[in-house]
């Protein structure tokens, strides 16, 4: 590796979350279905960040899933496999799991995670009000909710302390104006509102943590974080760490199919769109053949395969698509029938890189040289 063109960057401070000191204050965002599984999580953990396995619908590409009734048991088995493989590839790294509140096996995914070595649970798509209860099997597991406002943070912290005598070990603020996947607002009309912007909410959260909790709840910011400039800006607002997801998609270690990654490399300005998820939330995605069919009212798969969501318009009214199927197909390389979630930085991918190269750029200013996909 050459250091030609490297910039002299000050070191990033380590991040303390619960029992763990994270050498590089970067959490890799959870990306389902199986976009961030054991390979990506281990690669990030080996660089000193936190590698995160997305637990949602892991079974769909596993050897355990055969029919609908096996879905939940298969998810448990597949998650155990992913945790074991991640740990084998990163014996000394910090490995966590992203568990969505909105899925019906949320409790099972949390319990399975902490019982099988996960050191951190990151949880969003709803407020994880009972997360400490589900994670009691391993009190050392760090619990990190994803929130979109100071109000949500305050409510959650007070409730956890009242019921469980513990606080969140950190909070991830996810900016709905920039983040990918399901966004933490109730509808499209709330998107792009200034009140949800990183520059507004992160300073509020940082001050709240300092005044109310003596800085014991570090704030991690997510959504639109791509380069060192973004990280330094987040720190200037009071964040103690960042969460990055889309940046890691076009890496050799990402668990998605090469055709999935190719969609990002080929994306151009205007190719990031907002879709209405069956979960009742807006979502940010790449404009693909699937979304174009969706927008013109064409036929998409609307057969519920597993009743995976607590609330689902596909299951309840068949008026939209099965999101588990759509995300799974995309991860497998079927972009005609698959949904590709992404943040606003999707169009910045130009080729393939290694996770190590991204960290070298972020930490030491060593330029990354993406390689075209064959």
Quick one: pLDDT band at residue 187, thresholds 50, 70, 90?
Answer: low
> Token pair 């603020």 is at which residue?
173
Mean pLDDT over all residues of the chain?
91
pLDDT value, residue 297: 79
pLDDT value, residue 281: 77
> Token pair 């390979």 is at which residue?
39
∠ Cα 200 201 203 (to 5°): 80
Give pLDDT tens digits for 95-108.
999 999 988 899 99
Residue 67 has pLDDT above 90, yes or no: no
Quick one: pLDDT band at residue 324, thresholds 50, 70, 90?
Answer: confident
Question: Domains of the chain, with CATH numbers?
Answer: 15-256+352-362 (3.20.20.70), 259-331 (no CATH)
Cis peptide before 33 (omega within 30 of 0): yes
Quick one: pLDDT band at residue 64, thresholds 50, 70, 90?
Answer: very high
> Token pair 């966004």 is at which residue?
183
Helix axes 106-115, 71-89, angle to 10 degrees: 30
- Listed residue (158, 222, 220, 239) closest to 184, CA to CA: 222
Q: Which long-range contacts (CB under 8 A, 24 or more apart) does 66-69 make?
A: 68/305, 68/306
Q: Averaged over 244-248, what is the pLDDT?
A: 97
Distance CA 141, CA 17 (A): 10
Whole-number Cα distances in Å, 63 to 30, 38, 150, 175 = 22, 16, 42, 36
Is pTM beyond 0.85 here?
yes
- Listed residue (19, 93, 23) closest to 53, CA to CA: 93
Q: Averaged over 250-261, what is the pLDDT?
A: 98
pLDDT value, residue 295: 86
Q: Averaged over 336-363, what is the pLDDT?
A: 96
> Over the range 298-311, which residues count as b (16 or more CB within 10 Å of their CB) and which as e?
eebbbebbbebbee
| Residue 246 contacts residue 343 (beta carbons within 8 Å) | yes
> Count of CB atoms within 10 A of residue 211's CB?
9
In the chain the first and final C-alpha atoms are separated, in Å, by: 22
Give pLDDT tens digits for 4-59.
667 789 999 999 999 999 999 999 999 999 999 999 999 999 999 999 999 999 99
DSSP-assigned letter for residue 67 = S
Distance CA 120, CA 98 (A): 8
Q: Looking at 76-85, 233-242, 244-253, 287-296, which range is the least confident one?
A: 287-296
Whole-number Cα distances in Å, 275 to 196, 211, 252, 282, 284 = 19, 38, 28, 6, 6
């Amino acid at each position: 590796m050459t250091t030609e063109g490297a910039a002299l960057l000050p070191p990033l401070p380590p991040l303390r979350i619960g029992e763990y000191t994270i050498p590089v204050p970067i959490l890799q965002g959870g990306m389902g279905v199986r976009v961030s599984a054991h390979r990506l999580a281990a690669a990030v953990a080996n660089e000193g960040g936190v590698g995160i396995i997305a637990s949602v619908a892991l079974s769909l590409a596993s050897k355990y899933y055969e029919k609908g009734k096996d879905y939940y048991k298969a998810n448990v088995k597949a998650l155990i496999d992913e945790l074991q493989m991640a740990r084998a590839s990163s014996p000394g790294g910090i490995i966590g799991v992203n568990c969505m509140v909105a899925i019906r096996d949320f409790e099972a995914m949390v319990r399975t995670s902490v019982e099988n070595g996960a050191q951190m649970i990151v949880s969003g798509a709803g407020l994880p009000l009972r997360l400490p209860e589900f994670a009691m099997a391993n009190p050392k597991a760090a619990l990190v909710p994803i929130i979109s406002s100071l109000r949500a943070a305050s409510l959650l912290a007070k409730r956890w302390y009242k019921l469980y005598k513990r606080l969140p070990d950190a909070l991830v603020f996810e900016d709905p104006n920039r983040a990918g996947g399901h966004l933490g607002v109730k509808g499209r009309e709330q998107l792009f509102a200034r009140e949800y912007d990183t520059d507004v909410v992160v300073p509020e959260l940082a001050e709240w943590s300092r005044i109310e909790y003596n800085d014991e709840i570090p704030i991690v910011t997510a959504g639109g974080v791509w380069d060192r400039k973004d990280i330094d800006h987040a720190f200037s607002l009071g964040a103690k760490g960042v969460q990055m997801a889309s940046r890691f998609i076009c890496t050799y270690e990402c668990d998605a199919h090469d055709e999935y990654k190719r969609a990002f490399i080929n994306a151009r300005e205007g190719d990031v769109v907002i879709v209405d998820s069956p979960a009742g939330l807006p979502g940010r995605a790449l404009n693909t053949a699937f979304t174009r069919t969706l927008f013109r009212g064409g036929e998409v798969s609307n057969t519920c395969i597993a009743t995976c969501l607590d609330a689902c318009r596909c299951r309840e009214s068949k008026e939209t698509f099965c999101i588990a199927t759509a995300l799974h197909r995309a991860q497998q390389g079927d972009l005609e029938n698959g949904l590709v979630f992404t943040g606003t930085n999707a169009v910045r991918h130009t080729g393939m890189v290694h996770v190590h190269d991204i960290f070298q750029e972020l930490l030491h200013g060593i330029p990354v040289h993406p390689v075209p996909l064959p």
